[in-house]
Structure formats: C-alpha cells, structure tokens
C-alpha cells in the first residue's frame, strides 16, 4: 500500500501519541515505585513509634496506610500495564500497517517473551503482598494479642482485615495477567 499524505499525517500522530503515553507510563512507574518505598517508610515509622510508646493501638494505622497506598499502587500498576497493552495491540499494529513495516515498537512485545519474566512477576507479586498484606496483618495480629484489644478497636481491626483480604485478592487477581 503506497503512503499518502493522510497516512504520513496519521503516522506522525500515532508516533506523537506513542511518545506521550510512554512519558505517562514512565511517570506512573516512578510514582508506583515511590508508593512502595513510602509505604515501607511510613509503616516502619509507625512500628518505631509503637515500640517507643508501648501503645499497641497505633499498630492499627499500618493497615490504613497499606490499604490506601496499596490500592493506589494497584490502580497505577494497572494503568502502566494498560499503556503497554495498548501499544502492543492497537498503536503498534496500526503504525506498522501505515508504514508497511512488519512490526512497530518491537520492544513492547520482545521483553514480554523473556524466559525469566514469569519469575520476576511472581517475585514482584510476593513483594507487593508482603508490603500491602502481610505486614499490615502482622500489625493487626499484634494488636489482637495485646491487652489494648477492646471490642470497638477489635471491630475496627476486623474491618481492616477484611479490607486487606480484598486488596490481597485484587493483587493476586491482577498478577494473573
């Protein structure tokens, strides 16, 4: 198929779109990574404050931190993956069609075929689950085992445990993709 003026214009538009969404993806990756570091730092600060003060009820702030930041992390991670999927499934094939190339944006599909990708994905899921599920559940359990575990706060911590279970399920559900 011969290139027309419209094809070139559309090709340039697709390349501009690619540049823009890859920039968005890069920004989201940095933000997502910082969420993980901030979650660990905030949780560590709460644990240190709990140990210093001896107030076990402070442990219940860790699940709140982890649910809010974990959900934000998960949503951001989904958008990062959606950009890659869009480039692989829509943008790349359309640009290849317009230019007559066999494929466009080869890296977008090449790195997904890496033999160690599955291992890396599983390790990342384990890190995510430890940070956003195991750590806060250890804090909830620590609170439950403390003398400060009174009915109103036990109820709150039960709701937190339920929210953490839902978040953990979402992490596992998303990891299957």
Q: How many CA atoms lie within 13 A of 67 on its CB side?
A: 16
Give whole-number Cα distances, 161 to 139, 154, 164, in Å: 10, 10, 5
pTM attached to this predicted model: 0.86
The average confidence (pLDDT) of the chain is: 92
- C-alpha 163/C-alpha 158 separation (Å) is 9
Give whole-number Cα distances, 57 to 50, 114, 124, in Å: 8, 46, 30
Residue 70 has which token pair?
């974990």
- C-alpha 54/C-alpha 7 separation (Å) is 69
Q: What average pLDDT score do residues 54-60 get?
A: 98
- Averaging pLDDT over each range in 3-7, 11-15, 89-93, 167-171, which range is the top one? 167-171
- C-alpha 135/C-alpha 169 separation (Å) is 15
Q: Is residue 1 scored above 60 in pLDDT? A: no
Question: Which range is least confidently modeled, 6-15, 23-32, 92-101?
Answer: 6-15
Q: Is residue 6 scored above 60 in pLDDT? A: no
Q: What average pLDDT score do residues 43-72 get?
A: 98
101 — pLDDT class (breaks 50, 70, 90): confident
Q: Is residue 4 scored above 80 in pLDDT? A: no
| pLDDT > 70 fraction of the chain, expressed in percent and rounded | 94
The residues spanned by each domain of the chain are: 5-175
Q: Is residue 172 scored above 60 in pLDDT? A: yes
144 — pLDDT class (breaks 50, 70, 90): very high
11 — pLDDT class (breaks 50, 70, 90): confident
């Amino acid at each position: 198929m011969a290139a027309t003026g419209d094809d070139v214009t559309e090709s340039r538009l697709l390349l501009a779109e690619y540049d823009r969404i890859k920039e968005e993806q890069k920004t989201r990756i940095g933000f997502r990574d910082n969420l993980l570091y901030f979650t660990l730092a905030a949780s560590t600060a709460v644990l240190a404050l709990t140990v210093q003060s001896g107030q076990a009820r402070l442990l219940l702030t860790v699940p709140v931190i982890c649910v809010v930041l974990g959900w934000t992390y998960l949503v951001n991670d989904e958008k990062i993956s959606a950009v890659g999927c869009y480039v692989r499934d829509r943008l790349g094939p359309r640009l290849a069609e317009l230019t007559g190339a066999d494929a466009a944006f080869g890296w977008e599909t090449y790195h997904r075929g890496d033999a160690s990708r599955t291992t890396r994905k599983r390790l990342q899921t384990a890190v995510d689950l430890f940070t956003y599920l195991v750590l806060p559940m250890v804090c909830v359990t620590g609170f439950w085992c403390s003398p400060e575990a009174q009915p109103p706060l036990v109820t709150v911590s039960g709701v937190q445990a339920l929210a953490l279970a839902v978040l953990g399920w979402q992490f596992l559900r998303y990891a299957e993709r």
